Structure 1
Amino acid sequence: MTMKQWIMMVGGFLSWIPASLFSQTLWVTSLDSIDLDKSVADLKDCYAVEFLLETPAAEELPVDIYLSDIRKRDLRELQLEEPSHVRKVCLTARSLGKKRQVLTVPIKAFDTPMASEGVLRRIRSIALDVKGEKQKEARLLSARILEGNSVHAHASRASLAAEPGETVVYPVTVKNLETRPQTIHFSIKRYGWEAFTAELSDNEVYLRPGEMHTLRLKVTVPEGVPAGGRETQNLYILPSANPSAARALSFTTLRRMPYPFSLHTAEGWEEVRRKAEKYKWAAERKDRYLADAERWVVPELPDSAVNGDGERYLFRTEIENALMSSAIAW
């Protein structure tokens, strides 16, 4: 084989190698108004992060998205970090035309164990590993946090208690996340045999882009419900601009129970007191609880008292026995 023939053969072989073997790393340094070079982003409770890309590529680009609570600007170094500090998901951008592609990344798409979700509260690094042709590189135009899909809904309370005949009110704030006005519809999903009466202050509301509205779910506890009896109300929220983004919020309303009710009812504690007066073993146990409670000093926690996810905690696990003894003594 001549050199010319060999070069032609190698050239023919190389022509079959897909251009998508090239990858390009884009680092997100600004997310909305958050400077990731100096601060952190809390993504735990948001719906998604959206990236707008500029690229001459005609095909929709596959992208590996990395999140980390460690500040890195080298993808290889980030990939070598402990898995508990790095979250990754692979998605494909969507073409908008005019050399624009959008990548919407739901936070729940990341393989984050529930016990480690605190990592999402302090994101310092976001990297986009874009696959494509070398001569058609992408450029990151913007990155923003999405509160929800089409509509954002939030309620500060998901459960309330009342006496028979009383009414509780759940305020629910909704926000239009679309770039155009839309009507948002509300309804209560019923099984047909509910005992609690539920009413909405609005059946629908028309909102401009970014506009918010607070509706109220009113629930009345009926007569005849025993203490602790409860019922769940399901609020269905339907955005007209994107019906597939409909969502539901659940609320649990119950008849109020007299305190105390955690370990014992009031009658149960009276029985404990009678046993302490009647039986020697019960009196000894009572004295032990009282002594443990008197010895225990409530620890003062410094500002640095955080768990493995960086979140503040109230007490260390090893003091739970002293804490319980004090509660029982009280």
Structure 2
Amino acid sequence: MPSMIPASVPWSLAPYCPQSHRLGMAQKGNEEAASVGSWMCQRLWPWPANQPLPGRLAPRPLSLAPSSSSCSSPPCSQDGGMAAQGAPRFLLTFDFDETIVDENSDDSIVRAAPGQRLPESLRATYREGFYNEYMQRVFQYLGEQGVRPRDLRAVYEAIPLSPGMSDLLQFVAKQGSCFEVILISDANTFGVESALRAAGHHSLFRRILSNPSGPDARGLLALRPFHTHSCARCPANMCKHKVLSDYLRERAHDGVHFERLFYVGDGANDFCPMGLLAGGDVAFPRRGYPMHRLIQEAQKAEPSSFRASVVPWETATDVRLHLQQVLKTC
């Protein structure tokens, strides 16, 4: 498909926001989730390439060559502190479904349904762009069938982590104040937190940014949208570009400015925040998944405009090895 990116606008200043294309219980890695030209949106906060965003320092090139000079910033300590200062140097952002865990958790909870399936009449209520509303109905249906939050928690706790992910998260935890770690997910807080606690990694994350969920007055699991936004092509309940940008602004208000951003994801909705990444930042798309394919199309359409480095991963070990190299050379 020909690129629909306007030739007069650098891609880095006009990134596009593909919609999270999860139809019913379809896998996010589905081959149908493909093209840059399919789901586009204007960047919410176009930002000049030569100016740092709030919440981060001015970008500077990242070299992984062994002979590169060391960074001017003080090194991270391994005991939870940083030489001469306590602020984190890098912001490390994770997606959840098919990134931290190796399944789509919205698929996984169907195991708690009668017969481990949803009725077609319920599946037929899905409207493109309103997946959160659909999942609200799914949770309501499950509650009506006698499925309680404890049953759903057991399902979430049993979802396997992606290969190598536990080692990656343990490695990051040992780096002290090098990394500030957050999670941005279009799943839900109840499921994400249940899975992370069961795996022993919940405390690593400074913030879990996901759709609010929890037991309601009847004791059933209820789900709400994360926010509203003006990104016309993102799901109505969440634009990850806005979520990450808002977080950077919040941290800037706190006096925290990151040298580099690292983003680990897989889905089409993980492509939208790529417009916030600059030179020296790293995008880690899961190889062959929608985020990776969309980045490849953007690079092909305008090769010089995608400023962040791109490191595809098949297992989380690939991410860990790259971060280890970053810390050795910086």
More helix by share: 2
Larger RCO: 1 or 2 (CA < 8 Å, sep 6+): 2
- Does the pair score TM above 0.5? no
Query: Which has the greater radius of gyration?
Result: 1
What band does the TM-score fall into relative to the shorter chain? under 0.3
- Give me the TM-score of the superposition, normalised by structure 1: 0.18
Structure (1/2) with the larger strand percentage? 1
